[in-house]
Structure 1
Amino acid sequence: GNYGIDPAVRQHKTVCASGAVFRRVSRHPSHYRSADSLPHWLETSGVRGIEGIDTRALVTRLREEGTMRSVIAVGDGAIQDAPDVLRRYLAQPLGTPELVASVCVKAEEDKGQGPVRVALLDCGSKEHIAESLVEAGAEVLEIPFTTTFEQLLTLKPDGLVISNGPGDPAELDDVVATLRRAVEYKKLPMFGICLGHQLLAQALGAKTFKLKYGHRGGNQPVQDERSGKVIITAQNHGYAVDAQTLPSDVEQTLINLNDGTNEGLRHRTLPISSVQFHPEASPGPDDANHYFRDFVGSLREQHAR
């Protein structure tokens, strides 16, 4: 919290975290762009926080045990109730459609102008994804993740981007069914990002699995399988595509050099591809920003024919 809060770099309209854990919170930020302190921002956003926690010990335990569920409890009564709350929490699946619904647009939003129209299926999209598509020269229609294939076609998009988002891709059957229809249509170029990569992989016939150690941060090395080139990427996900389950008409294009997991795919005959990382970064390195230019550029070439 030393930097405080700068609204200009926010990547979502709301705070998507349910809680925040700190060793010590700075109540007096020091940055020329700061417009608010971290504790006040969390309070006004309705997000619970707790400080005085040995975060290094907590991170060490998470590293050893993998992702774990937790409850923030403050006060004697809350602490006494915590076991019951945790038991109810444990009974719930991790990545439900309700989780995605809480962070996606509720109605179509039109952004930018351009000779090609990109439909952005919002599963919890970061703001800079739409901005990057607009910068690449596209009109962007951001649409809810519940949009059906028939509704999608009425928008007459030149291409479809499936965004990042929270949760378990295996819980989003309706979205996968919509994407499967789009694949079978064979006329709609598609590009998936993070959760969108996993959903698209499932629509193509592959399976996903939960990582013991999720990929977090802006320094994940990814290698192109064809060229051998390595880029540094921003990532934030706890699930991955099982490359061993990719069908024969889909090829793995990228791998993570830390653990060898899948980072990208491409259909061998259809204009469909996806990446596990965040090419828009924000924050993070911009090594992969060209994926937006490449996708929009291919749509413009197709549009000009």
Structure 2
Amino acid sequence: MAEANPLSVPDGATGVLVLANGDVVWGRGFGAEGQAVGEVCFHTAMTGYQEIMTDPSFAGQIINFTFPHIGNVGANPDDVEAEDPHALGMIVREDVTEPSNFRAVERLDAWMKAHDRIGLAGIDTRALTRRIRVGGAPNGVIAHSASGDFDVPLLLEMARAWPGLEGMDLAITVSCETHFGWKDGVWRLGPGYSKVTESHTSSEKPPHVVAVDYGSKRNIFRNLVKAGAEVTVLPATATFEQVMSFAPDGFFLSNGPGDPAATAEYAVPVIQAMLETGKPLFGICLGHQLLALAVGARTSKMFQGHRGANHPVKRLSDGAVEITSMNHGFAVLSESLPANARETHVSLFDGSNAGFELTDKPAFAVQYHPEASPGPQDSLYLFEKFVGMLRDSAK
């Protein structure tokens, strides 16, 4: 990687990544023109780039994809986890090609441009991944200019001035603005997304779960519906009184971006009140971290984070290994879990906490993403487990 120098723009370079330490990586820009500053992280999934780009958990981040052929299946309106992308941009090895998939409706680069997101191609993404693994996830600026005109010193100043994700509450910026009921079930080839009436297999009234949206992925709600729940979604800042006004049988805490300790300032008192009701509670990713903070545990910023669709997690109850999808840059410190919190899952990559349950309350959470979007489906059983707890509680 070259030192920052405004006179060293290579011929044909229309995109650049400038890191806060002064490293400059030149490439070919695609998608929208402009610049964006955030944390640069790597993602190891081989599929699901649309789901990754639209995952609200990636707000404030620039995604370096280790798989070289990103964009070859195009883009479509179904494979999204939010209305618009939340990741700031993507870095890829090969140029985006014409799509080769019967579900594609447009090229990935056109989709990126339409959603004002920057892409950078022609990068040695594995070298960049190694740099992140050795030095940690850096702050950086991704920029695209069709004319090749870049003010590198200014971009470097932007990268160095950005405060980083630690201490930053981003959940409030990506959460829904008002409550709504979720109706779609999971996607199937042919009919597409099912509806509530198709997804519920029982004639009995479905249990009602209130989901707090800290930056949720749609497929979580789809799987709750598939498992048999009625879902009402509330904003991240909803009060306990607002939550209870919907008469829930239980509570769900969603994934989301940013530092859980910052979001905890307004989220933890509500979660603690939820726990006092004795109703079932399930948390995923940021929701897992917030539940941990609510019972007195601690979280910390990870050196490089976990982001991929092939992360092995050991289930401590029986020793089974689940291959999971992960996306987090903060972790619950296992040693800080209180006596009434039992660790249920651990990462086999680094031994970090990947799940726990309370022994005195019907509450549990996992750090990984069981909704498999993108990723394997080893952990879908957790939705059935939670909805079963809701049914038992509602009796």
Task: Tell me which interval the TM-score lies in, with the shorter structure as reference length.
Answer: over 0.9
Aligned residue among 115, 118, 124 for 2:209: 118
More deviation, 158-167/23-32: 23-32
Instruction: Tell me the distance in 2 between the aligned counterparts of 1:177 and 1:23.
Output: 45
Aligned residue among 225, 228, 232 for 1:141: 232
Say whether the 8 Å CA contact 2:292–2:332 is kept in structure 1. yes
Instruction: Tell me the distance in 2 between the aligned counterparts of 1:96 and 1:109.
Output: 26
TM-score under structure 1 normalisation?
A: 0.94
Aligned counterpart, 1:262: 353
Does 2:258 correspond to 1:167?
yes
Aligned counterpart, 2:29: none
Which amino acid in the other structure matches residue 48 of structure 1? Answer: I
Deviations 1:184-239 (A, max 9, x none): x2322110001100010000100011121311211111112221121111111111
Aligned counterpart, 2:91: 21
For residue 58 of structure 1, give the secondary structure of its aligned residue in structure 2: helix
Instruction: Tell me the distance in 2 between the aligned counterparts of 1:202 and 1:144.
Output: 19
Query: Aligned residue pairs: how many?
Result: 301
Aligned counterpart, 2:168: 96
Aligned residue among 109, 113, 123 for 1:39: 109
Aligned residue among 271, 285, 296 for 1:179: 271
Which amino acid in the other structure matches residue 176 of structure 2? Answer: V
For residue 313 of structure 2, give the secondary structure of its aligned residue in structure 1: strand
How far the C-alpha of 1:87 sits from its partner, in A, is 2.7
Instruction: Tell me the distance in 2 between the aligned counterparts of 1:47 and 1:202.
Output: 34
Q: CA RMSD in A?
A: 1.5
Aligned counterpart, 1:83: 156
Higher strand share: 2
How far the C-alpha of 1:24 sits from its partner, in A, is 2.7
Instruction: Tell me the distance in 2 between the aligned counterparts of 1:17 and 1:93.
Output: 13
Instruction: Tell me the distance in 1 between the aligned counterparts of 2:381 and 2:358.
Output: 19
Deviations 1:7-36 (A, max 9, x none): 212111110111222233224111111111
CA gap 1:250/1:297 in 2 versus in 1, 3 angstroms: same
Aligned counterpart, 1:192: 283
How far the C-alpha of 1:66 sits from its partner, in A, is 1.5
Say whether the 8 Å CA contact 2:91–2:123 is kept in structure 1. yes
Instruction: Tell me the distance in 1 between the aligned counterparts of 2:386 and 2:165.
Output: 34
Say whether the 8 Å CA contact 2:141–2:155 is kept in structure 1. yes
How far the C-alpha of 1:95 sits from its partner, in A, is 5.6
Does 2:280 correspond to 1:208?
no
Say whether the 8 Å CA contact 1:25–1:38 is kept in structure 2. no
For residue 31 of structure 1, give the secondary structure of its aligned residue in structure 2: coil
For residue 111 of structure 2, give the secondary structure of its aligned residue in structure 1: helix
More deviation, 270-279/13-22: 13-22
Aligned counterpart, 1:295: 386
More deviation, 290-299/66-75: 66-75
Larger Rg: 2
Instruction: Tell me the distance in 2 between the aligned counterparts of 1:93 and 1:56.
Output: 23
How far the C-alpha of 1:92 sits from its partner, in A, is 5.1
Q: Which has the higher contact order (CA 8 A, sep 6+)?
A: 2
Instruction: Tell me the distance in 1 between the aligned counterparts of 2:121 and 2:321.
Output: 38
Which amino acid in the other structure matches residue 179 of structure 1? Answer: I
For residue 138 of structure 2, give the secondary structure of its aligned residue in structure 1: coil
Aligned residue among 253, 268, 277 for 2:344: 253
Say whether the 8 Å CA contact 1:118–1:160 is kept in structure 2. yes
For residue 63 of structure 1, give the secondary structure of its aligned residue in structure 2: helix
For residue 188 of structure 1, give the secondary structure of its aligned residue in structure 2: coil
Say whether the 8 Å CA contact 1:186–1:270 is kept in structure 2. no
Say whether the 8 Å CA contact 2:139–2:160 is kept in structure 1. no
How far the C-alpha of 1:254 sits from its partner, in A, is 1.0
Consecutive unaligned residues in structure 1, runs of 5 or more:
none
For residue 202 of structure 1, give the secondary structure of its aligned residue in structure 2: helix
